[in-house]
Amino acid sequence: MSRPAINLNLLALLLALLASLLDWTAPGTVLSLTGSLPIVATALCQLAWHHRRPALARGTGLAVLMVLIPALASFLIPEYWISHSAWNRQVEGWTAGSLIVDWRPPLLVILCLIMLIASLLVRTRANLGAPQLLAMTAILLVMQGVETWHATNLLSLTGSALEQAALWSLLAAQLSGVAVNWRGHLPGLKRALPAGVLLACLTLLFWHQQKTLVEGNLHAETQAQSQRLAESLSLEIRDHLQAMQRFANSWQLQDTLPTGGQWAAQAAPYHQDFQYFLNIAFIDTDSRIRRVHPANATNQRLLGRRLFDEQPAGRSALEEALSNGEMGRTGIIDLLQGEPGIIHYLPVLDDDSQRPRGAVGMVVSLPALADTLFRQTNPSHFGLTLMTPDRTLAERQATSRLATWQHRSAIDLDGLSLTLTSRPTLSLLLSRLSRQPVVSLTIGLLLAYLLFMVLFAHQHMDTQQRLMRRSNRELRHEVRSRTRLQKEVEWLASHDDLTKLPNRRQFMWDLERHGQTRPLSLLICDIDHFKQVNDAFGHLQGDRYLKSIGELGRDIIESVDGVFARYGGEEFIACLPGHDAIMARDIAERLRVAIQQIDLRHADGSPLTISIGITTQVGGDLQTDTLLQAADEALYAAKAGGRNRVIIAPPP
């Protein structure tokens, strides 16, 4: 058992749990199999391995692989085999609104975990490719760092900073646990590992280039689609202006104002073709609306109204048509119908004098105009917004989750500058994204592993005889290593790793050993408000406090031939054979005062204190449970009495 490896695994487990907690509590996050949870499971797998539980480690590793391999397959399988929408349908039943990207870890995290687990499944043996697997893990982790700082990917291919730190810890744990065992394979490693690592690096560079090219092409494709939408809107504006110019010219041949029936008959086909017209109106030279189509209730209320008074924002455009005989256009204004739009005024000229005798007004609703554009696209493919520099005119929400990409296209609306913003959905982009880069990456890494195996096996055959001569020496080294590990295990089984004090199990054995001594006093000590120390200074500082109290308590208790042990958490326990209650109280007071006087303080500057419960057995057989219960009740009494005190339990 390697203590550094275990510590690194525990660190990785802590980091992964913290990352998982942050993901879970983040607003809008779907609870899913993100990178953190498989890292937690892999850390548990490695802990089982380092604790010499290979069956448990293999079982855990295979269980994690059963999750990771389908996740990797979702990156690899072509769209025409299993579509991205089919993957989404599979996971939508687990959590409403979730996508496959919510449930699978990032690609590079998946590959790192597969290689770490594969290294354990091959028993971290050099001749089975464990060095190459761990080297490729390191390369993938470096690539994650590069992608995190420099890449703008369609998908997040890397874990968070905490997840990457956890993966580095897992890698370091494996290396610290097995690197010493690879020394005998140095000739093979020197021959095989550089070639395997070089091929893996080239594979990653090729994958990165492919990925950048594929995503760039996809970005250009969606940008072009957005630009086509913008151009179609500009063409629509030009078409309706040309049509309405013909409509206005048709009235120049008449000597009288059009009747309501004539106006409706002529305007109806135009309104049918351009349904974003709120109305097509005839305005006389006094700016009053005389005819309007369609003749709905809203438009009927406009008849007879004088636009110079009712709509001053469009006065200059209307004057251009009525006074100068030129087409006038308003800017984007708030229409009388209560929505943003623009109005084109086309003069109706007298055929003889060429003087204006009225104007045709085309009221264009920009939301309705935008809707004609938006209907050209599937709402599950794009979210669209039409805006000016200072306001949003129309917006069509996508029915699926949007990607981070955003395209802006300029629209020339008869001299007015608008912007069409389109955001493709994640489902659309992933369905169009080529799987080729990921396939190349996976195959390249597999070939790098096979290359290592071939070169290593060849070198192994050359050095087999030399290794046989060294086998006896390695065997002796293994015996010594196992003996050392066994002693470490025995010590860990009976002592607390932080304070180096006997643990609860060892204390119970010592208590039984002194079970015939009378009187026999038992002390249970609890640090007051220790949680505040951890909350204020962190667990590392809290551990230092525990170590200091453990050292002080051991000095005082062992000076009177007692046993001082860590009971658990912030609790300590002491056994004082041959000490009655009064003597035990004096010793407890010494301990309490000593702890209060050492330089251990809370965040507010108050000294750290302890509460102590004492019980003493003066006769009869040893009753361990009764003694512990009595001391514990005395401790609770000390806590309830205000803490920082010693309470003696009544005689049992």
| pLDDT at position 460 over 80 | no
What are the CA-CA distances from residue 293 to residues 267, 280, 299, 368 (Å)? Answer: 7, 5, 7, 17
- pLDDT digit string (tens) for 524-542? 999 999 999 999 999 999 9
Which pairs with CB-CB distance under 8 Å and at least 24 residues apart come from 57-63?
57/120, 58/120, 58/121, 61/117, 61/120, 61/121, 62/121
Q: Which two tokens stand for residue 481?
A: 């290593």
CATH topology of domain 254-370: Beta-Lactamase (3.30.450)
Contact 58, 119 (CB under 8 A): no
Burial class from Cβ neighbours inside 10 Å (0-12, 13-18, 19+) for residue 210 reads middle
Q: pLDDT: is 27 or 14 the higher one? A: 14
User: What integer pLDDT is reported at residue 296 of this predicted model?
Assistant: 84
* Verdict on whether the full-model pTM lies above 0.85: no
Average pLDDT for the chain:
85
> Which of 4-13, 129-138, 436-445 comes out lowest in average pLDDT?
4-13
Residue-wise pLDDT tens digits, 264-287:
888 888 888 887 888 888 888 888
Bridge-partner residues for 361, per DSSP?
281, 345
Exposure string for 70-86, b = 16+ CB within 10 A, e = fewer: ebbebbebeeeeeebbe
When pLDDT is cut at 50, 70 and 90, the band that residue 31 belongs to is: very low
Judge contact between 405 and 225, C-beta under 8 A.
no
Query: Domain-by-domain residue ranges, the chain?
Result: 3-215+434-473, 254-370, 504-648
- May I ask the CATH architecture of the domain 504-648? 2-Layer Sandwich (3.30)
* Tens-digit pLDDT profile for residues 193-252: 999 999 999 999 999 899 889 888 888 888 888 888 888 877 877 887 788 778 777 777
> Is the peptide bond between 258 and the residue preceding it cis, with omega within 30 degrees of 0?
no
Look at residues 302, 291, 332, 301 and name the one whose alpha carbon lies nearest to residue 314.
332
Cα R_g (the chain), whole angstroms? 40
User: What confidence score (pLDDT) does residue 78 get?
Assistant: 84
Asked whether this chain's domains 254-370 and 504-648 adopt the same fold, the reply is: no
| Residues 141-192: tens digit of each pLDDT | 999 888 877 656 677 788 888 889 999 999 998 888 787 788 877 878 888 8
Distance in angstroms (rounded) separating the CA atoms of residues 63 and 44 = 12
**pLDDT band at 427; cut points 50, 70, 90:** confident
511 CB neighbour count, 10 Å cutoff: 20
Enclosing H/E stretch for 648? strand 646-648
| Residue 572, Cβ density class (10 Å: 0-12 exposed, 13-18 middle, ≥19 buried) | buried
Rounded CA gap, 200 and 139, in Å? 8
In 3-state terms, what secondary structure has residue 410? strand
pLDDT above 80: residue 133: yes
Q: What is the pLDDT of residue 26?
A: 55
Q: Check whether 610 has a pLDDT greater than 50.
A: yes
Q: What is the pLDDT of residue 206?
A: 93
SS3 assignment, position 3: helix
Share of the chain above pLDDT 70, in %: 95
CB 362 within 8 A of CB 280: yes
The residue among 582, 610, 576 whose CA lies nearest residue 595 is 610
Read off the pLDDT of each residue in 287-300 and give the average, rounded to a whole number. Answer: 85
